[in-house]
Amino acid sequence: MNEVADLLRRLIRLDTTNPPGNETLAAELLRDYLEAAGVECRLYARVPERANLVARIPGRDDGPSLALLSHTDVVLADAGEWERDPFGGDLVGGEVWGRGALDMKGEVAASAVALASLAREGWRGSGDLIFVAAADEEVGAGFGLQWLVEQHPDAVRADFSVNEGAGDRVELGGRVLYLCATAEKMSSPFTLRVHGRSGHAAMPSIADNALVKAAPLVERLGTFEVEPQLIPEVEGFLAALLGEVPPPGEALARARAVAPLAAELIEPLLGLTVSPTKARASDKRNVIPALCEITVDTRLLPGQSPEDAEGALRDWLGDGDYEFVNIERSGGTRSEIGGPLWEAVRSFVEAEEPGAAAAPLCVAGFTDSHWMREAFGTVAYGFFPSRAIDPETAARLIHSANERIPVSDLELGLRWLRHAARAVCG
Ligand SMILES: [Zn+2]
Q: For residue range 222-272, list pLDDT tens digits in order.
A: 999 999 999 999 999 999 999 999 999 999 999 999 999 999 999 999 999
CA-to-CA distance for 89 and 11, rounded, in angstroms? 8
Question: How large is the average pLDDT for residues 352-370?
Answer: 92
Cα of 114 to ligand 1 centre, how many Å? 19
Question: How large is the average pLDDT for residues 78-90?
Answer: 98
Biggest CA pair distance of the chain: 84
| pLDDT band at residue 341 using 50, 70 and 90 as cut-offs | very high
Cα of 76 to ligand 1 centre, how many Å? 13
Cα of 200 to ligand 1 centre, how many Å? 51
Tell me the average pLDDT of the chain. Answer: 97
Question: How large is the average pLDDT for residues 330-345?
Answer: 96
User: What's the pLDDT at 330?
Assistant: 87
Cα of 417 to ligand 1 centre, how many Å? 17
CA-to-CA distance for 74 and 104, rounded, in angstroms? 8
Tell me whether the CATH fold assigned to 3-165+367-425 matches the one assigned to 184-331. Answer: no
Q: Is the pLDDT of residue 1 over 80?
A: no
64, 13, 21: which is closest to 46 by C-alpha? 21
Cα of 266 to ligand 1 centre, how many Å? 23
Cα of 378 to ligand 1 centre, how many Å? 19
User: What's the pLDDT at 72?
Assistant: 98
Q: Is the pLDDT of residue 152 over 90?
A: yes
The residue ranges of every structural domain in the chain are 3-165+367-425, 184-331
Cα of 8 to ligand 1 centre, how many Å? 15
Min mean pLDDT across 29-33, 103-107, 282-286, 329-333 is at 329-333
CA-to-CA distance for 64 and 66, rounded, in angstroms? 7
| pLDDT band at residue 57 using 50, 70 and 90 as cut-offs | very high
Q: Place domain 3-165+367-425 in its CATH homologous superfamily.
A: Zn peptidases (3.40.630.10)
Q: Is the pLDDT of residue 365 over 90?
A: no
User: What's the pLDDT at 364?
Assistant: 79
Strands 379-382 and 160-163: parallel
Question: How large is the average pLDDT for residues 59-71?
Answer: 97
Cα of 104 to ligand 1 centre, how many Å? 5
Residue 200, class by beta-carbon neighbours within 10 Å (0-12 exposed, 13-18 middle, 19+ buried)?
exposed
Q: Is the pLDDT of residue 366 over 80?
A: no
Question: How large is the average pLDDT for residues 204-212?
Answer: 96
Q: How many CB atoms lie within 10 A of CB 38?
A: 12
Q: CB–CB of 37/56 below 8 Å?
A: no
Question: How large is the average pLDDT for residues 350-358?
Answer: 97
Q: What are the pLDDT digits (tens) for 367-382? A: 889 999 999 999 999 9
CATH code: domain 184-331 is 3.30.70.360
Cα of 205 to ligand 1 centre, how many Å? 54
Cα of 102 to ligand 1 centre, how many Å? 8
Q: Is the pLDDT of residue 119 over 80?
A: yes
CA-to-CA distance for 361 and 266, rounded, in angstroms? 9
Cα of 379 to ligand 1 centre, how many Å? 19
Distance of CA 332 to the CA centre of its chain: 11
| pLDDT band at residue 118 using 50, 70 and 90 as cut-offs | very high
Handedness of CA 202, 207, 208, 210 (dihedral sign): negative
pLDDT above 90 as % of the chain: 97
pLDDT above 70 as % of the chain: 100
Cα of 185 to ligand 1 centre, how many Å? 17
Cα of 116 to ligand 1 centre, how many Å? 23
Question: How large is the average pLDDT for residues 33-57?
Answer: 98
Q: Is the pLDDT of residue 196 over 90?
A: yes
Q: Is the pLDDT of residue 91 over 80?
A: yes
